[in-house]
Every structure is written in C-alpha cells, then in structure tokens.
Amino acid sequence: MPFTPTDYDPYDFANRRHIGPSPEEMALMLEAVGADSLDALIDETVPASIRTTDPLDFGAPKSERELTWFLRQIAKKNTVNSSMIGQGFYGTVTPPAIQRNILENPAWYTAYTPYQPEISQGRLEALLNFQTMVCDLTGLEIANASLLDEGTACAEAMAMAERVAKTKAKGFFIDQNCHPQNIAVMKTRAEPLGYEVIVGDPATDLVPDQVFAAIFQYPGTYGGLTDFTAQIDALHSANALGIVVADPMALTLLKEPAAMGADIAVGNTQRFGVPLGGGGPHAAYMACRDAYKRSMPGRIVGVSVDSHGTPAYRLSLQTREQHIRREKATSNVCTAQALLAVMAGMYAVFHGPKGLKAIAQRIHAVAVQFVEGLESAGFAVEPENFFDTVTVEVGPMQGVIYQAALDRKINLRKVGASKLGIAVDETTRGETIERLWEAFGITRSFDDYHHAYRLPEDLVRVSDYLTHPIFQMNRAETEMMRYMRRLSDRDLALDRAMIPLGSCTMKLNAAVEMAPITWPEFSAIHPFAPADQREGYQELVDDLSRILCMVTGYDAMSMQPNSGAQGEYAGLLTIMAYHKANGDAHRKVCLIPTSAHGTNPASAQMCGMKVVVVKSLENGDIDLEDFRTKAEAAGDDLAACMITYPSTHGVFEETVREVCAITHRYGGQVYLDGANLNALVGLVKPGEIGADVSHLNLHKTFAIPHGGGGPGMGPIGVKSHLAPYLPGHPETGGQTGPVTSTPWGSASILVISWAYCLAMGGAGLTQATKVAILSANYIASQLKDHYDVLFKGRSGRVAHECILDTRPFADSAGVTVDDVAKRLMDHGFHAPTMSWPVAGTLMVEPTESETKAELDRFITAMAAIAEEAQAIAKGEMDRDNNPLKNAPHTVASLVGDWDRPYSREAGCFPAASFRVDKYWPPVGRVDNVFGDRHLVCTCPPLSDYMDAAE
Ligand SMILES: *Cc1c(COP(=O)(O)O)cnc(C)c1O
C-alpha cells in the first residue's frame, strides 16, 4: 500500500512556525542537556512551589488562515470615518513606498535598539534624519530620536525644565489651550514631584516669578495661533523656561518656536505619514537648546568616527540613561518610538521642504475655504486666523450638526455645550468639505483653485528648513526605494540572524500577526472617535485583557502604558494611589535589589518614592536577610518592593514567595517587573505567587517587534484591590490620572499580541515557554567548556536566559566583553546583552523561535571566539593586533595592504559566518569617546565628513 496517511499538520502555527526547533531537533537538544523529556527539564528548572496548577486555556489555537478570517470579522466592527476631531491626531497619507519598504519590512521592524552601532548604521542614519528634521522645524539646536507620545513628551519637558531652570520656584504654568490629554498627563506627572500646576490663559494668568517654566500649545487645541515671544521673554527674566508644544506640519508655514525664544519644543510627528492607529504608536519629538542637552531624556543619535577614521553614527551621551544613572537618571524612558520616527523622518525625505510646505499650504487652503463657506452662511467661526483647526459656534444645534456630520461619515469634536471643533488634514478632500457643509445645511461646491490664506502676518515663517542634501534628493520612487533598501542593508535585524538579547526577548514577529496593523479598520481610527466606531478595538482590548489576566493571575489590566518603563511608572502610581486612599500617603519607601533594571529606580523616583537598595548575594539572588532588615526599617513607610522574576540573573529564585510575604507583612505592595515573562507564561503566574502588580512587555514576550527601539506596549496587570486605582483618562474617566495621551496607548499594535495569543492558544504559549527554557539550557550546556555559566538554579539549570562570563579573557588575554561583542558581528550575529546585570558578562536569551541550526551557529561562533582568546592568552596570537581587537572587519579589509599577523580569511570569514550570505558591517569599530567629545546630533554638512576622515 503506497499511501501512508500523515499526521503532520502543515497549519499548526504554534509548533511549525512560531516555535523554532522541530520535534526531532528538540529530542537532540534534550539529550544534549541531559533531560529525559521537556517536562522533566521544566520540573527540574521551575520550582514546584511556584508552579501554577491551572493550565492556560482560552480556546483552540488557530491556523494562520483562520486567524486572518477571525481578525477580519473583528476589524469590521470598527468604523472608518473621516476624523476631523484634531486634538493632536490627524489623518495622514502614508506614502505607499514607506508603508511597504519600512512599516511592513522586517529588515526595519525586527531590528533591536541600536546599542551596537556597527550593525545599526542604517537606522541610525534614518533617526539622525528625524532629529535633523525636528531641529530644522523647531529651530532648536538639538533633538532626541523620539519620545513615547505628545502627552509624555510634555511631561518630560516639564521635568527637564525643573532640572535646568535657575529658579527655586516650584510652579509650572500650563496654557489652557493645550490639548486636554496633555494637560492631564502633565498633572499626573507633576503631583508626586510636588510641582504646583497652574492652568490658565497665558495673556493674563502667567506670573513668571512663580514658575520654573510654562508650556504653550501651538496651534492651540481650538486652533488659536499666538506669538509667545513676550511671555517667553518674561519667563527668561525670571530665570524660568518657555516650552512650546508645536505641530510639525504647522511649523512648515509658521514662525518656529526658537524664533519665539523657546528653550524646549515638543510635539507629535504622527501626521508625517504615521497612521492614527486608534492612538498610536506615533513618535513624539523633543528639541532643546544645546546648553540643556545633558538633561534631555531619551536617546540621541550622534556622529562619531570608526577605527578607520570614517564617520559613523552611534547613540550619544548614553551616560544620561537609567542603565547607568538609575534613580538619578534624566528620565525612565528606554523603549521609545524608533520605527515611527524612522517613518516620519522618511516622510520628510520623501517630500522634502517643498513637498511639506505644499502639503501644509493645501491643508490650510482647504481649511480657509471651508471656513469661508461657513461664514458666508452666517456661522461664527473662531479664531480669526488659524492653520487647520477652528471652532464653530452652533448654539443648540450642536447635537444635530454633530449627528448630521456623523451620518455623512465625518467625526467632529464637541467643544463645550455649543461649539464644534473641526480640524482639516492631509486626507481631507473637496468632497469631504462639501459633505461637511451639508451637515451645516450649506449647499456649495468646493473650488480646487482656492488660494486665500488666513495666517497671522507676523507668524508666517521666514526661515529655511530641511536644507541638508538628504532632504533634497531626487524623489523618484526608484531612488527612494533604493535609499530605504541601502539603509536597511547596513543593519543586522532578525530577518538575517538570531538576536540573542537577554531580558529583551527577540522572538518571531510573525507576518500573520503584523498584517492587520495596516488594515484601515485598525490604522485609520482616531483615538477619540465615538465609542461605537471602536467596537472592534474594544473587543480586542477586552479579550486581550482577559487572556493576559489568565496568563498573569491578575484581575485587571490597563492598556495605557506605551513601554515597559511607562508600565512601571503606571504600576507604582497605582500603588501610591492605593496607599493614599487607605490613609497611608506617608508610605514612600521602595525596596529595589541592586540587580534591578535601571528603569526600576528611575520610575520609582518619578513617583516621588524613596529608593532603598537591597543587596544581592554572590549567586545573584536577593539577599533575603538584607531585604528583611530594610523592610523592617522602613516599617510603616514601606510602599513597595520591585522585583524581577525570574531574576535578572536568569534564575528562578526559591525565595520569591518569602520576599512577597515580608513586603506584605509591613504593608507594602509587590511590583513584579514582567520583562522576563517569557520564562513564566503557562507555568507560573505572578498573581499567584504574591505579586500585586506587573507590567508586561508586549514587545518582548508577546511578539510585538522591537522596531529598532520602539514601538512597545507595557500594559500593567493588578490584583483586584488595586484595580480602582489604575490610570484613568479624560476621555474615559477614572480617579487616577492618565500616564499617556490615549486610553489604550498604542492601540494598533495590541492586535499583534492578541493575534499571537489566539494563534498559539494556551497550550502553544506554554509550549513556547518550555522551549525557550530548553534553548537557553542547550546553549549553556554546549558552551560550558568555553565559558562559565554564572548563575544556575539548585538543579544546575538556567531559566530562559544564561549569563556567560568573559572576564577570564580580560585577565588572560586582554580581551574585553566589547571585543567579544564586536567579533560576533564578523560571524554575522548581534551581540547579546552586555555587562548587565554583571559587568564583563554576556546575557544570552535565545527564545523559542530559533531553530537548532541557528542555535548551533551561535554556539560555533562563541566557541570560536573563546578559542581565539585562548590563543592570545597562550601567546599564539598578538595581544593587540588580533581578530578580536580589530573586529568588526569590513569589506575594505579584503583589498589593499594587509599588515596583520592573521589572514584576511581568518579576520573576515570566521567559523559561523556565511560565505555567500556574508553580512558585512558597514563601518569598523565606532569610537564612543570621540563622539561624546565632538557632539554632532544632526545630519552633518558634507564637508564635515571630509574633515573627520583626515
Ligand atoms: C526591557 C526591560 C524594561 C523596560 O522596558 P521598556 O519597554 O524598554 O521601557 C524594564 N525591566 C526589564 C527587566 C527589562 O528587561
């Protein structure tokens, strides 16, 4: 009988697509680690005392086709209207070439944060373009590479101003014309820091002596255009700062913030080609005077030189970041919005200054024509002069006209009880305006050639912008496509090789999960659209919350936080609000182990907490004695502890229940950092082992891509007693303030995590956890003859990551952990997490998605590096002139003189590198010190490239 029925299921997404090792490969890996079965390995690794007895179950896993069909049904429950609500969010046209070549291209979206500059030159250039664009449009000297959203950018600007202002005043003035969500986010942030917030009219209510800074929205939320020069002058006389929140599209026509004397400018670059997405992700920006650069939050891309003296990009001034400064850091921002900043920057490259100006002029012209139509019918429109946004007085007709617009598929903004707010954007067509007129009872036809303008004369922009050659390229699509391709080719992302980063789970971001983010039903939804247009989103959020509650053992979730660090901040605020409600506002002490991620102390500080550091033992575990002593000492003042589980050392500590019990005994709450949830899903539930609140990094554990440093989502889960204190929002209510601009944070990417959960099912998610643990143990076992694996559990197993010690090489061969990281690039790998939580080590997290072949290639590379170090130690290789010190090798090493004591072959083609598919780092080792000493954070003039090369 030639026909043998097969039980192979080609549509089993979890086991055939998401999980890398095949069953046969897993058997080999289990044998290598000396475990009888996967379950036996897990039993040895995860202490029985913390295992859940409640297996994950939320319906059968779905095939990719079923999943797509299902998501389509949900998408249909969202209604795509023309949203003319404005309030910081606008329709925009994403150039299809940018959508296809960046947003939908894994070479861009699967990249990691560019901490290893040699393999990140493409996205670093794209981010430098973004910074240059922001500097040019605002007129300020230095810009960062994005912040999470406009609301938090305002809050960051406020905190930054307080740090740098040379006044003792504790007041902070907010222009009442700021968007309501910005005001709300700033108020949330100001309260624990003890700033007195004054919201009022800048013309009458601002008293410069009382404040360290004031913030003004430009254009205002109702469309008003004000020149704030006089106010900012007055602020400067009082040693206070002026901050302007500016719409970058308006700035292509209007006087820039720097010309008004502003010290800091912030805003949202969403309308530069980034879809609304129900609230995000979008890249907020921040720019400031050069003098304040060391106080600026967020990442800053700068220009340095490489080992050949060639210009090369890198992240600058990293010592400001929480990884180093901890509770003294300038902010807790870690993951930001890199991919969206790349898109916005590319939108500017794509259109150039002429194109941007034409788009803005068109928006303005459409708005003017619309307003003239209203005025000729007798409506009172405010303000007199505007860019794109106006309010119309409609008296008792508010509801009727609002509904008439809705009937014509147009969303407006209700302002007070008798006005309607209307914002025109890049997508507004003449036909839209005609429909909108109709809603106002006006029959009129739109004239394509209408060129009147109503900008205030003295606010019309006179300065140039985007003069750098990068914004003057030939904009033929072939040229643009090749530019985007050239940049992505310089980078090493998940589409080429495993990125074995400890703590930052870099797993598969499956195509089927990514596809829906650009469906209009998800991408074209305004965050403040009427609820009945967001029913699909509501269902998605509710169901994802339900699943994540099952996964974590918590009772409620908040989808607001746009990153893990923002989740920490939101979770700690929730704890503080709970204490306050119980009359325990004095509880301020937060116990944090030395091994904690830098964002933990930075977030605690932002909540006004007092950080008390708890020692770690030799083996990396929390020092329980020290913990007990410090909890007792804090006593009634204990607010919380922040722990990471499994520990940042990659071990399931047996004492975690005890740590939670001690904290609770003294009235504290347990914050469990969920970054390592990939080791727990389906096996251990934080809510069952004593934790009260956690953030989940959906861009780590739940398949949202890293985007080269964002987007991310860091929702928090809490036990029921904390649920009433979760962040609220002006649009949705709640007693605690919002931490971000929109109720569901970066809503559109939630669909990725939800799709991941649905495709995997409970059993698939659990299997993924087990295989992640197997893969880490496999790497640890295969490399044990070459490296000490630093921390292990009682049974000699690691969790989902392992820490390899490279310090012996430093003593014996003068080889640093940096040399190892750079040499991995020659093998075609991204380095693991370096020197955290222990200096001189590498933390490797292979994830469940890598095949055995790729794990083996990594093992080969690491073993070959250890052998090179050994050869140096034995004197067989030169101590200074060797492949490790000279790494990475670029293609230039193949030609010209070769004065090295090893062959070109050995330098360029080490054991794990490919021949045909060889990845060539585009630059040699980047000089960090040079870059910080000669700080250049905008696209340098071409002549500078020449100077640097000399
Ligand atoms: C990644 C990480 C964070 C911060 O998450 P972001 O999204 O980058 O803000 C916090 N804690 C730990 C342990 C992490 O690994």
List, for residues 791-831, the tens digit of each pLDDT value: 999 899 999 999 999 999 999 999 999 999 999 999 999 99
Average pLDDT rounded to a whole number, residues 223-238: 98
pLDDT tens figures, 275-312 = 999 999 999 999 999 999 999 999 999 999 999 999 99
Give the Å distance between the CA of 334 and the centre of ligand 1.
7
Q: What does the pLDDT read at residue 324?
A: 76
Contacts of 463 (CB under 8 A, 6+ apart): 139, 256, 259
Ligand 1 touching residue 563 (CB < 6 A): yes
Superfamily of domain 761-930: Aspartate Aminotransferase, domain 1 (3.90.1150.10)
Cα within 13 Å of Cα(91), Cβ side: 23
State the Cα–Cα distance between residues 245 and 477, nearest whole angstrom.
Answer: 33
In sequence order, the β-bridge partners of residue 593 are 614
What secondary structure, in 3-state letters, does 418-457 show?
CEEEEECCCCCCHHHHHHHHHHCCCCCCCCCCCCCCCCCH
Q: What does the pLDDT read at residue 937?
A: 87
- Give the number of the atom of ligand 1 that is nearest the alpha carbon of residue 697: 7
Q: What does the pLDDT read at residue 946?
A: 52
Average pLDDT value over all residues in the chain = 96
Cβ–Cβ under 8 Å, residues 163 and 330: yes
Alpha helices per DSSP H over 476-597: 477-489, 511-514, 520-523, 535-552, 564-581
Cβ–Cβ under 8 Å, residues 164 and 292: yes
Task: Go through 167-179 and write b for each residue having 16 or more CB atoms within 10 A of its CB, e for each that does not.
Answer: bebebbbbbbbbb
Q: What is residue 901's DSSP assignment?
A: S
- 583-to-46, 572, 576, 578, 719 alpha-carbon distances in Å: 39, 17, 11, 9, 20
Q: What does the pLDDT read at residue 949?
A: 44
Residue of 115, 156, 326, 597 to mutate, ligand 1, most atoms within 8 A of C-beta: 597
Give 845-872 as a DSSP string. ---TTS-HHHHHHHHHHHHHHHHHHHHH
pLDDT tens figures, 153-208 = 999 999 999 999 999 999 999 999 999 999 999 999 999 999 999 999 999 999 99
Q: What does the pLDDT read at residue 670?
A: 98
Q: Higher pLDDT residue, 325 or 703?
A: 703
pLDDT > 90 fraction of the chain, expressed in percent and rounded: 93
Chosen CATH of 555-745 out of 3.30.413.10, 3.40.640.10, 3.40.50.2300, 3.30.70.360: 3.40.640.10
pLDDT tens figures, 707-753 = 999 999 999 999 999 999 999 999 988 888 999 999 999 999 999 99
Tell me the pLDDT band of 944, cut-offs 50, 70 and 90.
Answer: low
Residue 948 has pLDDT above 60, yes or no: no
Residue with CA closest to ligand 1 atom 8: 335
Q: Higher pLDDT residue, 851 or 654?
A: 851
Contacts of 129 (CB under 8 A, 6+ apart): 345, 346, 348, 349, 470, 471, 939
Ligand 1 touching residue 602 (CB < 6 A): no
- Give the number of the atom of ligand 1 that is nearest the alpha carbon of residue 503: 15
- Give the number of the atom of ligand 1 that is nearest the alpha carbon of residue 335: 8
Angle (deg, nearest 10), helices 477-489 and 121-138: 120
State the Cα–Cα distance between residues 512 and 71, nearest whole angstrom.
Answer: 10
State the Cα–Cα distance between residues 495 and 105, nearest whole angstrom.
Answer: 9
Tell me the pLDDT band of 439, cut-offs 50, 70 and 90.
Answer: very high
Give 281-296 as a DSSP string. ---EEEEE-GGGGGG-
pLDDT tens figures, 98-115 = 999 999 999 999 999 999
Residue 950 has pLDDT above 60, yes or no: no
Burial class of 634 by CB neighbour count within 10 A (0 to 12, 13 to 18, 19+): buried
Alpha helices per DSSP H over 21-63: 23-33, 38-45
Give the Å distance between the CA of 597 and the centre of ligand 1.
7
Strand order in the sheet with 196-200: 142-143, 284-288, 264-268, 241-246, 211-218, 171-175, 196-200
State the Cα–Cα distance between residues 494 and 130, nearest whole angstrom.
Answer: 23
Tell me the pLDDT band of 451, cut-offs 50, 70 and 90.
Answer: confident
Strand, helix or coil at 671?
strand
- Domain positions in the chain: 84-497, 555-745, 761-930
State the Cα–Cα distance between residues 830 and 312, nearest whole angstrom.
Answer: 18
At 581, the amino acid letter reads A
pLDDT tens figures, 556-578 = 999 999 999 999 999 999 999 99
State the Cα–Cα distance between residues 112 and 833, nearest whole angstrom.
Answer: 11
Ligand 1 touching residue 845 (CB < 6 A): no
State the Cα–Cα distance between residues 403 and 370, nearest whole angstrom.
Answer: 19
For residue 457, count other CB atoms closer than 10 A to its CB: 6
For residue 449, count other CB atoms closer than 10 A to its CB: 5
Least confident of 130-134, 324-328, 498-502: 324-328
Give the Å distance between the CA of 503 and the centre of ligand 1.
8
Ligand 1 touching residue 503 (CB < 6 A): yes
Tell me the pLDDT band of 220, cut-offs 50, 70 and 90.
Answer: very high
Give the Å distance between the CA of 250 and the centre of ligand 1.
35
Residue 882 has pLDDT above 90, yes or no: yes
Task: Take residue 711 and report the two structure tokens written for it.
Answer: 């987007």
Least confident of 119-123, 330-334, 567-571: 330-334
Residue with CA closest to ligand 1 atom 15: 503
Ligand 1 touching residue 144 (CB < 6 A): no
Give the Å distance between the CA of 603 and the centre of ligand 1.
11
Q: What does the pLDDT read at residue 150?
A: 98
Residue with tokens 């229940």: 657
For Cα atoms 218, 224, 230, give the angle at the middle one, nearest 5 degrees: 65
| Nearest partner of 858 among 882, 823, 888, 890, judged by Cα | 823
Q: Is the peptide bond before 257 cis (omega within 30 degrees of 0)?
A: no
Ligand 1 touching residue 649 (CB < 6 A): no
Task: Go through 666-704 and write b for each residue having 16 or more CB atoms within 10 A of its CB, e for each that does not.
Answer: bbbbbbbbbbbbbbbbbbbbbbbbbbbbbbbbbbbbbbb
Ligand 1 touching residue 921 (CB < 6 A): no
Cβ–Cβ under 8 Å, residues 82 and 91: yes
Residue of 147, 334, 566, 801 to mutate, ligand 1, most atoms within 8 A of C-beta: 334
Residue 943 has pLDDT above 90, yes or no: no
Element containing residue 822 per DSSP (H, E): helix 817-826
State the Cα–Cα distance between residues 611 and 808, nearest whole angstrom.
Answer: 34
Does the pTM surpass 0.95? The reply is yes
* Domains 555-745 and 761-930 belong to one CATH topology: no
For the 84-497 domain, the top CATH level (class) is alpha beta
Cβ–Cβ under 8 Å, residues 773 and 44: no
Q: What does the pLDDT read at residue 894?
A: 94
Strand, helix or coil at 247?
coil
- Give the number of the atom of ligand 1 that is nearest the alpha carbon of residue 563: 7
Give 683-725 as a DSSP string. T--GGGTT--EEE--TTTTT----TTT------EEE-GGGGGG
Q: What does the pLDDT read at residue 947?
A: 53
Q: What does the pLDDT read at residue 327?
A: 82
Residue of 147, 152, 501, 503 to mutate, ligand 1, most atoms within 8 A of C-beta: 503
Give the Å distance between the CA of 698 and the centre of ligand 1.
11
Task: Take residue 329 and report the two structure tokens written for it.
Answer: 């850091």
Ramachandran category for residue 631: left, alpha or beta (phi over 0 → left; psi -120 to 50 → alpha): alpha
At 345, the amino acid letter reads G
Ligand 1 touching residue 843 (CB < 6 A): no
pLDDT > 70 fraction of the chain, expressed in percent and rounded: 99
Q: Is the peptide bond before 711 cis (omega within 30 degrees of 0)?
A: yes
Cβ–Cβ under 8 Å, residues 859 and 789: no
Residue with CA closest to ligand 1 atom 7: 564
Ligand 1 touching residue 564 (CB < 6 A): yes
| Nearest partner of 45 among 655, 679, 507, judged by Cα | 679
Ramachandran category for residue 847: left, alpha or beta (phi over 0 → left; psi -120 to 50 → alpha): left
Give the Å distance between the CA of 855 and the centre of ligand 1.
24
Ligand 1 touching residue 332 (CB < 6 A): no
Residue 921 has pLDDT above 90, yes or no: yes
